[in-house]
Structure 1
Amino acid sequence: MFKKLFGQKAPPSGVSQSSASAANKTISAIQNLTEHEESLEKRKSLLEKRMDLEQEKAKKFLSEKKKAQALQCLKKKKLLENEIANLDNMIMRVNEQRMMLEGQRTTTEVVSSMHTAALAAKENMRAMKIENVDKVVDEINETTDQMRQLNEVFAAPLGLGADLDEDELMAELEEIEATELDKELLEPAPVPVTKLPAAAQASSEKMPSVPQKQKQPAAKTQEELELEALQAEMAL
């Protein structure tokens, strides 16, 4: 079956028509089986009600001491039970037949879809030639190379920045850093100032200051005395 569906030759028109006819018959059969199943279910429900009624009548006759009538009701009830059992078997057979047809219909639709997809894939491969694929790949590679070249052009420095030597700039920067480091090393280190504790500082503030002796002026030399005498004479 799959060889006929997926073979190289297209199926004749008669096959498609027969498939459509079979699908229509399947749908019609499923509908008929569904209707019969519903009808059987309704009859079963009716018989169950009649069976319950005969059961109640038998109980009533027994309460009235009418055993013969009660026995007749039980016989009718038994016949109804047998008929209900037959209906259950019929419903089961109809249900099985309907489920089988539904499964076949689903399988047929899936196979038909697969067949259509296979034909579409063949048409696509026939339209897409290998030389066309190679041409498209070459065009993509060419476009990629052009974009790479453009990126390299835009990444290169322009104008005055293109003439600058980065190695020379780095050497100058290192020289400046070395000079600044030498200046820092030549500067004297700050003397740390030790703060006295609060208690010691307070006690030092309370202590009286020691009076300092005034320094006596130093004795003048002979030359200084002669110079002062000369200045006094000139002033006169």
Structure 2
Amino acid sequence: MKRVFGAKKDKEPPPSIQDTTDRIGKRGDSVDDKIKKLDSELARYKEQIKKTRPGPAQEAVKARAMRVLKQKKMYEGQRDMLYNQTFNLDQVAFAAEGIKDAQQTMSALKSANKELKGMMKNVKIQDIDNLQDEMMDLMDVSNEIQESLGRSYSVPDDIDEDELMGELDALEADMGFETEGDGVPAYLQPDNDLDAELNLPAAPSGHAPIPAGRQGEDELGLPAVPRASLRG
């Protein structure tokens, strides 16, 4: 059967937008090259027209220049058509890329939405509010404990400013009374009445004189050591 009717050929995939754009772009570059060559030829004909005198020779050069100019106009029309096709293909490619981006964005949003829903299942607003209330209660209890531990014992709280100033004045008067006399507090001054009652000798103010018969002895009756031997 295949020999009679022939085998069915596989259809070629349609050209992509990028392939078509590249092919048209190459055609446009080829047309641009042809237009540049025609421009050079027209410039040469222009110089010849300037150098030749009016007459049959100049008219022949003008005819050739007119023919080249018509070719240039034709190629410029083809180039403009190719540019328009390329522009249309670029717009289609841009729209296609935009649709692809939108599809990817939608897929990412759906995945994120599904993930968020799974996470939200374990989080309840009521649980958060209850936790906040418990934390506030714990902080209040902690403050009460700190205040209870920092409470002072047997310290009156009803002392006013007048009572404070009176206490300070009395303390200042007591300190001034104790420092009267030679400026030494009373508890550091000697009690002469107590010394007289106990009949204690007065404290020596210096070295007592040594009797004549005891010049070679010290205060305890021992032989005095010569000063030279001490200096040794």
- Indicate the TM-score class for this superposition, using the shorter chain for normalisation: 0.5 to 0.7
Which runs of structure 2 are paired with 1:176-215 in the superposition (5 Å)? 176=161, 180=165
Q: What is the CA RMSD across the aligned residues, in angstroms? A: 3.5
Per-residue deviation, 1:108 = 0.8
Distance 1:33 1:159, change over 3 A: same
Question: Any idea what the Cα deviations from partners look like across 1:86-118, whole Å, max 9, x if unmatched?
Answer: 222211111111111111111111112212322
Distance 1:154 1:87, change over 3 A: farther
Per-residue deviation, 1:34 = 1.2
User: Any unmatched runs of 5+ in structure 2?
Assistant: 1-12, 169-232
Who is 2:150 aligned against? 161
**Residue 59 (str. 1) matches residue 46 (str. 2):** no
Q: Partners in 2 of 1:88 and 1:71 — Cα distance?
A: 25
Who is 1:135 aligned against? 122
Q: Partners in 1 of 2:74 and 2:29 — Cα distance?
A: 15
Who is 1:82 aligned against? 70
Per-residue deviation, 1:53 = 0.3
User: Any unmatched runs of 5+ in structure 1?
Assistant: 1-20, 184-236
Who is 1:104 aligned against? 92
Percent identical residues = 13
Distance 1:91 1:140, change over 3 A: farther
Letter of the structure 1 residue corresponding to residue 24 of structure 2? L
**Residue 92 (str. 1) matches residue 80 (str. 2):** yes
Who is 1:117 aligned against? 105
Per-residue deviation, 1:84 = 1.6
Distance 1:47 1:151, change over 3 A: farther
Letter of the structure 2 residue corresponding to residue 114 of structure 1? A
Q: Partners in 1 of 2:142 and 2:71 — Cα distance?
A: 93
Q: Partners in 2 of 1:160 and 1:123 — Cα distance?
A: 55
**Residue 73 (str. 1) matches residue 73 (str. 2):** no
Q: Partners in 2 of 1:33 and 1:46 — Cα distance?
A: 20
Question: Any idea what the Cα deviations from partners look like across 1:29-83, whole Å, max 9, x if unmatched?
Answer: 0101111111111111111010000110111112xx6x22211111111122222
Who is 1:40 aligned against? 31
More helix by share: 1
Letter of the structure 2 residue corresponding to residue 121 of structure 1? L
Question: Any idea what the Cα deviations from partners look like across 1:180-227, whole Å, max 9, x if unmatched?
Answer: 49x9xxxxxxxxxxxxxxxxxxxxxxxxxxxxxxxxxxxxxxxxxxxx
Residue from 16, 35, 50 that aligns with 1:25: 16
Letter of the structure 2 residue corresponding to residue 161 of structure 1? G
Q: TM-score, normalised by structure 1?
A: 0.53
Q: TM-score, normalised by structure 2?
A: 0.54
